[in-house]
Amino acid sequence: MSGRIYSVPLLLLLLLSAFSMALASYTRLIEQRANHGKATVIASQISNNLEVFSADRLRAVDDLLQSWPLHHANPVDWFNVRATTLSKMLPGLHDVLLLDARQQIRWSIVASERGKLTGTALSSLGFHQTEPAAGGFYTAFYQQQGQPFTLVVKAIDPQQPAKGFVAASFDIQQILTVLVGALASDDLSFYLQDGSHALFRHGEIAPDAPAVSQHLSFAGRDWQFVIQAQQPGLNSALLVLLAGLLSALLVSAMLFRKLYREQQLQLQQQMFLAAADASPDAIALYVPHPKRHGDFVLQHANLQVAALFKPGYQQLQQLSLQQLCHALCAASFWPLCLRVYQQHKSFDGIVAVDSAALTPAWLQLQIVKAGAGLVISLRDVSDSKMYEQQLKANEEKYRRLVEGIDGHFIYRLNQAGAVDFISHSVQQILGYSPAEFAANHLTYVLREPAQMAHIRAQYQQGIAPQPYQIEYKAKDGSTRQIEFRERPVLDEQGKVLAIEGIGRDVTSELLLQQKIRYQADHDQLTGLLNRYAFDQQLQQLLAAGQQAILCYIDMDQFKLVNDSCGHLAGDELLRHVASILATDLTDKDVLARIGGDEFCLIYPGITLSQATAKLQLLFGRISAFRFRWEQKIFTVAASIGVLELSGQQLNTVEVLKAADSACYFAKAAGRNRYHIVNAGAAELNHRQNELDLVSLIQQAIDQHQFELYYQRIVPLQAQGGGAHYEMLLRLTDPQGKTVSPAVFIPLAERFGLMQHIDRWVFNQVLDCLEAHPAHLQQLDKVAINLSGLSLGDEQFLSHILQRFATSPVPAAKICFEITETAAVTNMASASRFIQALQQIGVRFALDDFGAGMSSFSYLKNMAVDFVKIDGSFVRNMARDATDYAMVKAIAEIAVSLGKTTIAEFVADAEVSVLLAGLGVAYGQGYALHQPEPWLPLLEAASAAPARLPALA
């Protein structure tokens, strides 16, 4: 039993040992077979890949030879360009040599070796001509600095060896690194040799394990490749024997190891395929289509090409290049390919893709002509392009936001108040760069708001202040007004982190506002205050109850200048007058132009006597002024209404009415003077009185309420002749008071009634003369005044001609008096008017000569019969040598021109004697005859038809 006890365990031990040994032996056998199979597969793949690798490069060399130009100016340059391109396109191609017919090296594309090799025999590289390999190649093996190379030599033209040879040198180490480098692992041992020359070795071949030997061919060279898959670590059979009861675990571990090895083998295969594809870009090689001329067919495409197509469109790869372009809706791509192919100029650029078959939206496209075909490289750059576009759009949006706001800049202040950001637009506004302004902005401040401390306090409280302005000195020295709008940036606890804001250049805006305010308050012509601004000043003065003197100034003779010389002359005259009025004014005085030729002047804080003294000086300056325009000289006068303001409860309208009334009184008193008026109720009603007077004038025209007076025109040289007198017009108001012609005539001119008065006087004179023929017989001439407006009235001229055509009154008995001012102002109209009436015998007199236009050329060109010398010269000629000289000059010139002279305003006998001595023909004035009503004279002649006694 004890034997059984020992034998059974021993037998069991033996059985278990035998089973373990059998299992170990079986496992060892299986492992050797797997390793052998693995080595066989790898050897086969290496053989195939090396054959393809070799064929590509030999074909490239062959293509180089086939494309050798028949005639070329410099075949070496052509060879260098093409060979260099091949070396860059084909990994492992170390050098390409151009040989002559004696196999002497003419050129090497490797610049560093060119000098050493040129001119040497190819045999120096170990090449000795043997029988050519398939395809007509000659091959040789050589080593350079211990590195193996394969040399392939082929004649450029086998039929003409004299053309020479081309030798391609392949770097075996680089080629094998690409093909078998990925196989370098612990469980694989292999070596590769060319005859007796070792080319590549990894690990050691175990003699007790099977190895796979494979003959390889590369460029006509026979290589031997030996590979062995080994079992690293401990022997698995020994492990089974020793493990015993752990055999199941060992089997599982072995199975796992086996699966793991298979996975590693698959990964190694994938790495090999990736290394074969070589490039991350999608690369497709197209060659000329064998059946479709001008088209190309796909020869090779790496895996990335298929990735460009969406699912279901991969079959499009099999189309020709032209068909593919149309199928992808990329018709413009096809002419691009043709241009590259025909012009030998590569294309490289980014193109947009709009095809349902392709995945990318943007492609980096490169087209290069390679031999007879095209190499097209594609890379999906959609993400980077879209990111670039989005980034560009965001940058442009931000730039437009920050920099595109004209006249604005954006900034940020940190907690310390320093500028930590400011947009570049600050340089456009102030001239300082952002860095300059950030560092020195406080030194550029010229003036800041008085409440700046309060604004800073608001920052600390987290309150956004109201917009405020700071005046800065710009880099060019100018001042700029910047308006700031700010808001504090707060954290969650309400603490101020920073201040963000926008600065806006409001300089132009403020200047424009100032200009607008100035233009709103000032007269553009004279630069004085205008009516609106003057009303504001006057209203403030009245509200304060301040003592002041208001002067209402109306320029006399302005209309003459404006009408005779044009508006430009009138404007220039107004500017001169404004300058005269502004002389010696204080800062408190107020001067304004409130109308066409009307000005207002306020002397605040002075008495009436002080004001009149100032006015006397002012009148002196105005009288001394002579306005010259185009060889014409004008005298200027002014009528001034003066009103004393002393706290009366009046408004601006009432005050100006009173001053205006005073001005009219000054005009009525003879112009060129001032009139002082009190702010009483009677004088404040002047405007209403004026309107009442206008109504009275219109009523007098309609109801024949005017009364005709006459004043004799007395001969100064000889007695005798018929009656000669001037018709005068009188008007009586409802209270029976006579209204002075100096009052109602200007008013009638202002309100356009003068033409109606002229027509009424003419008709009345002719009607009365027609009704009193006895007086008509005694009459020499009757003078009728005509206004300037009547001279230009064609209807009035027609009316006069019609009346004379039917009236018994001879036209020669009528003399129309026209003022010098009216004649000059309406020169063309006046000439036509005078000429038309002179043709029927009407006489004309030029009234008030010398008072207006101081030019005798008008007298020469004016076809008048009489010249009436203005009374302003006649009145004082006995006491004023200047007046005497003026009268003498006028009389002499008038006589020389064949015109009869009449002197007005003959005030005394002394003047009469002087006039007679100067040869003046007639005199008119109170010293000779006081004006009388005309109707009694007519009636007297009719009652006692006798000759009118001679007038003395």
Q: Residue 250 is which amino acid? A: L
CB 190 within 8 A of CB 226: yes
CA distance 510 to 481: 8
- Of the candidates 171, 523, 554, 597, the residue annotated as catalytic is 597
* Strand-pair category, 932-933 with 723-732: unpaired
DSSP for 844-875 reads: EEEEEETSSB--HHHHHH---SEEEE-HHHHT
SS3 of residue 747 by DSSP: helix
DSSP assignment letter at 358: B
What whole-number distance in Å separates Cα of residue 129 and Cα of residue 766? 149
Q: What are phi and psi of 231, to 5 degrees?
A: -100, 105
End-to-end CA distance of the chain: 205
Helices and strands counted in the chain (H then E):
33, 38
18 CB burial (10 A radius; 0-12, 13-18, 19+): exposed
- Residue 696 carries which DSSP code? H
Q: Map residue 274 onto helix, strand or coil.
A: helix
For CA atoms 104, 107, 110, 113, give the dihedral sign. positive
Q: Write the DSSP symbol of residue 904.
A: -
- Ramachandran class of 374: left when φ > 0, alpha when ψ lies in -120 to 50, beta otherwise: beta
CB atoms under 10 Å from CB of 176, counted, come to 21
Retrieve residue 659's tokens.
């001053």
CA distance 360 to 48: 34
Q: Helix (H, G, I), strand (E, B), or coil: what is residue 629?
A: strand
Identity of residue 235:
N
Q: In the annotation, is 589 catalytic?
A: no
567-581 and 608-624 helices, crossing angle to 10° = 140
Distance CA 270, CA 265 (A): 9
- How many CB atoms are located within 10 Å of the residue 313 CB? 17
3-class secondary-structure state, position 267 = helix
Query: Do 268 and 188 touch, CB atoms closer than 8 A?
Result: no
Cβ atoms of 422 and 410 within 8 Å: the answer is yes
929 in Cβ contact with 714 (< 8 Å): yes
Alpha-carbon dihedral sign for residues 559, 562, 563, 567: negative
Q: Is residue 363 within 8 Å of residue 380, measured between CB atoms?
A: yes
Q: Look at residues 869, 914, 906 and name the one whose alpha carbon lies nearest to residue 890.
A: 869
Instruction: Tell me the residue type at 388.
Output: E
Q: What are phi and psi of 707, to 5 degrees?
A: -120, 130
DSSP state of 950: P
Contact 554, 597 (CB under 8 A): yes
Q: How far apart are CA 659 and CA 834, in angstroms?
A: 41
CA 769 – CA 942 distance, rounded (Å) = 11
- Rounded to an integer, what distance in angstroms lies between the CA atom of residue 110 and that of residue 117? 10
> Can you name the residues that pair with 628 across neighbouring β-strands?
633
Catalytically active residues are 597
